[in-house]
Amino acid sequence: MSVLRSLENRIAGLVEGTFGRVFRSEVRPVELARKLAKEMDEHRTVSVSRTYVPNEYTVWLSPEDRARYEGVEHEIADELAAYLLEHARRERLALVSRPVIEFRTDERLALGEFGIQARLVRERAPEAGAAPAARGEAPPVAPAERGHTMVYSTAERHREQLSEARAGRAGRAIVVVDGKRMLVGAAGALLGRSRECDIVLDDGNVSRRHAEVRPGPDGWTITDLGSTNGVRVNGRPIGAGPHPLRDGDHVELGTQHVTFEID
């Protein structure tokens, strides 16, 4: 099991373990972990020799959600920081200090909604585990530069539950890569070069997050996630939005060839 998966399981374990009674809230810690990593990825600052990412994150919760986190915020914040640190290490991103997570309340948020604000704050003192700046190089940002607050909803989780029902009707999906048959989860699978993808394609012509396979109301579909080299199904490039997949379809992601099967 990868370190990130292990950390996710540990964060999820806080829900079901000692502090389980606290998390009857719609916002789950594992959801926060994944969206924090997304914000880290989307707020990169490219320097001469490094790619810097934010090291301080503010998580805004509704009053109802925040009340349920009372008493365990420090434990959750520590686990989330460890998750981001490992994510940065895996993606070879530079941090000027260990990630810091802070929880705050926003009266405008409804139950199940949360906001994340990321910023890069220059290091005040060296901390263990952080990648130092190269000699003579400082992060090319002003101190405490703030990004916009992104608001998310846990409605995505309910869409995943709908996907599970759809997958049951569409049949079990399998992706065959280099002779290896990999089962696609009921909620779908992300395909790409990143180690965070569900199906990792070790090919330099494949984008980090290249495509996504998901069950739809009429069966399985594949969507190009803005990849550099595109997606072809049976030799034809797909357009924007979901493209239907059938048993035996031949899929090209850049120069990587895979076969889609329905069992």
Segment 21-66, tens digit of pLDDT: 444 457 888 889 989 998 999 889 888 889 999 999 999 998 988 8
pTM of the predicted model as reported, rounded to 2 decimal places = 0.51
Tally of CB atoms within 10 A around 154 = 17
With tokens 């990004």, the residue in question is 147
Confidence (pLDDT) at 168:
53
Confidence (pLDDT) at 147:
55
Q: Which of 241 and 5 is assigned the larger pLDDT?
A: 241
Residue 146, pLDDT > 70, answer: no
Tally of CB atoms within 10 A around 117 = 18
Confidence (pLDDT) at 188:
82
Confidence (pLDDT) at 263:
77
- State how far the Cα of 153 lies from the Cα of 35, in Å rounded to an integer: 11
Q: Which of 84-88, 147-151, 188-192, 199-203 has the lowest mean pLDDT?
A: 147-151
Segment 159-191, tens digit of pLDDT: 554 445 454 555 778 999 988 999 887 778 899
